[in-house]
């Protein structure tokens, strides 16, 4: 991201705001595995590539990966975006449905509402569906609520959580620099990133000053989920890229910042 910003003539300040931490207690994964092997799940949704890999690492402490893959193929397999798609293709696991861009819970719900098909059997969505969802740090409560309204049962499968970086000094320095008016553009790539930044700003007693400073910046958001979190935090959004990818975010935001 830094190199792309610099190639486009920008001066980049990169401040890590979160890290992925595997869950020490994998009870949820083992429950998921037991129900999957017992044939009690109809649909499995993979939300992230990192989460899919972490899930497999835990599963392989109990059964061979081939056993897990075979059990998955008896379900309808849905992926949220390109990263879990790449992981499942690497595994050789069939993907039945993929959410369209911008790959939020709303697109996943649209896939489900359009009717699911299990290619191996040709059967359509049954009246009662049990869905397992590999979580990606935070539960997707809106998706779960919408599925429950539709009479579907949901098994959340948390695999990792988001925490602050071990060293938060660079993040603190970036927040202070923003308050001092040193940035023209702010780029955001995830909802949890925003929550962590605002938490640190609060600790520094700079939350309101930070919010005020952002109003003088061009703010780019990777996509709708990130934008929702920005608005909840009190920030504005100037631009969402045409595609929810880092490259598009950087190019389109910097082009707007410097149209010449």
Of 136, 162, 188, which closes a domain?
Answer: 162
Judgement on whether residues 93 and 157 belong to the same structural domain of the protein = yes
Burial of 90 (0-12, 13-18, 19+ CB in 10 A): exposed
- Is the same domain home to 139 and 198? no
| Helix 65-72 vs helix 49-59: crossing angle, to nearest 10 | 120
Burial zone of 172 (CB within 10 Å; 0-12 exposed, 13-18 middle, 19+ buried): middle
- Using the 3D structure, point to which of 130, 147, 162 is the last residue of a domain: 162
- Residues 154, 41, single domain; the answer is yes
Residues 57 and 10 in one domain: no
Of 142, 162, 182, the domain-final residue: 162
Asked if residue 227 and residue 192 are part of one domain, the reply reads: yes
For the chain, state the CA radius of gyration. Answer: 20
The answer to whether the CB of 76 falls within 8 A of the CB of 97 is yes
Category of 115 on φ-ψ map: left (φ > 0), alpha (ψ -120 to 50) or beta: left
Q: Are residues 150 and 214 in the same domain?
A: no
Same domain (yes/no): 234, 114? no
pTM, two decimals, is 0.71
Q: Which structural domain, as residue segments, surrounds residue 11?
A: 2-18+164-257
| Pairwise CA distance, residues 203 & 142, whole Å | 29
Q: How many domains does the chain have?
A: 2
Same domain, 120 and 75: yes
Which pLDDT score is estimated for 260?
66
| The two three-digit tokens of residue 115, written as one number | 């009717």
User: Do 144 and 176 fall into the same domain?
Assistant: no
| Rounded alpha-carbon distances, angstroms, from residue 235 to 33, 190, 238, 250 | 41, 14, 10, 19
3-state secondary structure string across 7-64? HCCCCCCCCCCCEEEECCCCHHHHHHHHHHHCCCCCEEEECCHHHHHHHHHHHCCCCC
Are 183 and 207 within one domain? yes
Give me the pLDDT at residue 121, please. 58
Q: What is the CATH number of the domain that holds 97?
A: 3.40.50.10090
81-138 pLDDT per residue, tens: 899 999 999 999 999 999 999 888 899 999 999 988 766 555 656 567 999 999 877 7
Residues 156 and 194 in one domain: no
Same domain, 124 and 174: no
What does pLDDT average to in each consecutive run of 10 residues of the chain (260 residues)? 93 91 83 96 93 91 95 95 93 95 91 80 67 86 93 92 90 97 95 92 96 96 90 94 93 88
């Amino acid at each position: 991201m830094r190199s792309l910003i610099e190639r486009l003539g920008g001066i980049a300040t990169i401040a890590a705001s979160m890290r992925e931490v595997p869950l020490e207690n994998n009870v949820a994964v083992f429950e998921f595995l037991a129900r999957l092997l017992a044939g009690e799940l109809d649909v499995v949704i993979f939300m992230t590539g990192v989460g899919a890999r972490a899930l497999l690492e835990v599963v392989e402490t109990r059964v061979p990966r081939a056993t897990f893959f075979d059990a998955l193929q008896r379900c309808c397999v849905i992926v949220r975006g390109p990263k879990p798609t790449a992981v499942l293709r690497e595994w050789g696991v069939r993907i039945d449905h993929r959410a369209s861009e911008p790959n939020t819970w709303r697109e996943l719900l649209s896939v489900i509402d359009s009717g699911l098909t299990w290619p191996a059997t040709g059967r359509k969505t049954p009246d009662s569906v049990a869905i397992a969802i590999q979580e990606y740090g935070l539960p997707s409560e809106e998706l779960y609520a919408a599925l429950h309204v539709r009479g579907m049962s949901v098994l959340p499968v948390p695999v990792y959580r988001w925490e602050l970086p071990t060293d938060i000094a660079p993040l603190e320095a970036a927040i202070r620099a923003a308050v001092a008016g040193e940035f023209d553009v702010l780029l955001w790539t995830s909802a949890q990133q925003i929550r962590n930044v605002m938490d640190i700003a609060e600790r520094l007693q700079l939350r309101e000053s930070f919010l005020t400073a952002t109003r003088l910046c061009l703010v780019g958001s990777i996509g709708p989920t990130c934008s929702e979190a920005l608005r909840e935090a009190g920030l504005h959004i100037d631009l969402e890229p045409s595609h929810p990818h880092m490259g598009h975010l950087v190019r389109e935001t910097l082009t707007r910042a410097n149209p010449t």
